[in-house]
Amino acid sequence: MRAPRLARRLALAKHSRWMFAGRLGAPAPLTCTPEEAARLRRRLRRTPAPIDRPIVVISGYLDPGLYAGVVSRELRRLTSHDPADFRVARFALHGAIEPMAECVVEKLRAIAGGARASFDLVGLSMGGLVARRVAAVVNAGDEIRVERVFTLGTPHRGSTLAERIAPTEAARQMRPGSDFLRELDAALGLSGIELVAYQMDADAVIGDGRGVPDGHPGHRLPRRPGEPHLHIMGDPIAILDIARRLRGEPAILIPQGPVKPPGPGPEQVCND
């Protein structure tokens, strides 16, 4: 085996051990108790509510749509119950993030059918970067628009794993300080989107604190047993928080960061 390939495999094996190491995190900063959140989830499943615009869930790196499909179905069950409101964008290996974003743009245009339309995007891991790229492209025009982007475990500040092993151009674009990430940050304010970022404690794939862009508040989720980066893509608290926002109801997660959370207290949020 060639030395560079052996070095990459050793680096990946070492990183894999780190991914499953670490203690479980402190409870998530909620506006209610976990028991109240569970009751709230059951109520949302029983009472469908319309949503303002179609949702497209964007898969992550090397995900053929497995996780994106699960998230799409769960959000549907907690919101409108209408499959027509939700789509999944999945990718073969396009090499770089820009072609993936172009595929999503074409999907949005197909859904809009030539009319003006707005969308919300949910990005899983790398899919969050794809979503931000899509918003930067389409929001510069006047045909279709991305209003909100929700990201789960997205390496907004780069990926720790990509620093060690990056076999594709997309992986190299996710390295901290890459030209691609700098361009995304420069376009974030101009795109005019509302960005809601969720990150899980001890996520060794992207690294602690890298799941939120600089200067933005983020939503912290406690580490669960196993590999945090995979768990966050189906975390019930994060999915419930997104569903509440899609329904136009108050969020249940308190953001952690430079912006203090406005809005009602626990009684108003969870005892409804």
Can you give the residue ranges of every domain in the chain? Answer: 11-270
pLDDT digits (tens, 9 = 90+) for 26-35: 677 898 888 9
CA distances from 11 to 14, 122, 159, 171, 242 (A): 5, 31, 14, 15, 35
What CATH code would you report for 11-270? 3.40.50.1820
Single pTM value for the model: 0.86
Contact indicator for 57, 128 with CB cutoff of 8 Å: no
At 254, list the tokens.
């308190």
**Which pLDDT score, from 0 to 100, does residue 63 have?**
86
Q: CB atoms < 10 A from the CB of 52, how many?
A: 14
pLDDT digits (tens, 9 = 90+) for 93-131: 778 999 999 999 999 999 999 999 999 999 999 999 999
Helix 66-78 to helix 236-246 angle (10° resolution) is: 50
Per-residue pLDDT of the chain (272 residues; tens, 9 = 90+): 555 555 444 443 443 343 334 444 567 789 888 899 999 999 999 999 999 999 999 999 988 888 999 999 999 999 999 999 999 999 877 789 999 999 999 999 999 999 999 999 999 999 999 999 999 999 998 789 999 999 999 999 999 999 998 999 999 999 999 999 999 999 998 889 999 999 998 898 999 889 999 888 899 998 777 778 988 988 999 999 999 999 999 999 999 865 333 344 434 455 55
